[in-house]
Amino acid sequence: MLRIGGRTAEFLGWLYQDLGDFRAAGYWSDRAMEWAQEAADNHMQSYVLFRKSHQAASQVNAERTIGLARAAQRVPSLTSGISALAAQQEATGYALQRNPKAALAKFDEARELASLPTANDPASTLDTSYCTPAYIEMQRANCWIDLGDPLRAVQLFEDEIAALPQIYRNDRGVYLARLARAYGKAGEPEQGAETATKALAIAAQTGSARTLAELAAVSRAVGSRQSVPAVATFIERFQIVRDRFAA
């Protein structure tokens, strides 16, 4: 029961994070950690630390992102998938600190771990199958924006989004929004607006606060170019969707 409760609480934490409610996300992640500790579930303890690191990164707290990711990697007997997730979170923290050398080295480590075959472990029912080399590269692409190379981010996003399975609809919206932000940073407002409009169509259905936050950044980046038809269309539609979810 503790294991089931821990996994349910972790999932609730993720759902609240995607809705932008970090207080509720933190509450449920803390409950997941408590129950995982009571159940002596090492895999879940590490995964919750990864999740809390992810929450810290979403709030642009580099030090907490790195500290929690390192703690996740210190848990014994981890699967390669959980280790890869924690390693890429540490890399994300370094990118937030504008430390490209440390970030890229840790992303390389995470990609290598994600490439390893994952053996079925009866002691763990955590599904980390989404943590593939392509997933790691999408996280790297997002960090290239923070590291000041949006054109490299664009190339990585374009390559990896094209291969993303259709089942990952919510994630596709997030990645398209980040691609649009990269285009905006690279001085390509029309391409950015067109890509952002695709992401907006998904966000209008999912209500993902992560996607809407990325699109708000795109809106600010291209807002001065509303003489471009694609930009004007995106800004108008974005305001409608944003107001609907704010109501």
Instruction: Please choose, from the candidates 66, 115, 130, the residue with its C-alpha nearest in 3D space to the C-alpha of residue 93.
Output: 66
**59: nearest Cα among 29, 32, 33, 92:** 92
Low-confidence ranges of the chain (pLDDT < 70): 118-125, 247
pLDDT of residue 194: 96
Q: Which two tokens stand for residue 217?
A: 């950044």
Q: Give the global pTM.
A: 0.89
Helix pair 62-74, 80-96: axis angle to 10 deg: 160
Q: Is the separation of the CB atoms in 128 and 85 below 8 Å?
A: yes
CA angle 237, 152, 91 (to 5 degrees): 95
- Reported residue count of the chain is 247
Tell me how crowded residue 110 is: count the other CB atoms within 10 A of its CB: 27
Tokens of 59: 């709030």
| Per-residue pLDDT, 125 | 65
User: What type of residue sits at position 43?
Assistant: H
Q: How many CB atoms lie within 10 A of CB 82?
A: 26
pLDDT at 122: 45
Token representation of residue 121: 């472990």
State pLDDT tens for residues 105-140: 999 999 999 999 865 554 556 889 899 999 999 999
State how far the Cα of 83 lies from the Cα of 65, in Å rounded to an integer: 15
Q: Residues 216, 242: contact at Cβ < 8 Å?
A: yes
Instruction: Give the Cα separation of 209 and 215 in Å (integer).
Output: 10
What's the chain's Rg over C-alpha atoms?
18
* Residue 103 CA neighbour count, 13 Å, CB half: 22
Q: Other CB atoms closer than 10 Å to residue 94's CB: what's the count?
A: 24
Contact partners, residue 112, CB within 8 Å, separation at least 6: none
Q: Rounded to an integer, what distance in angstroms lies between the CA atom of residue 209 and that of residue 179?
A: 16
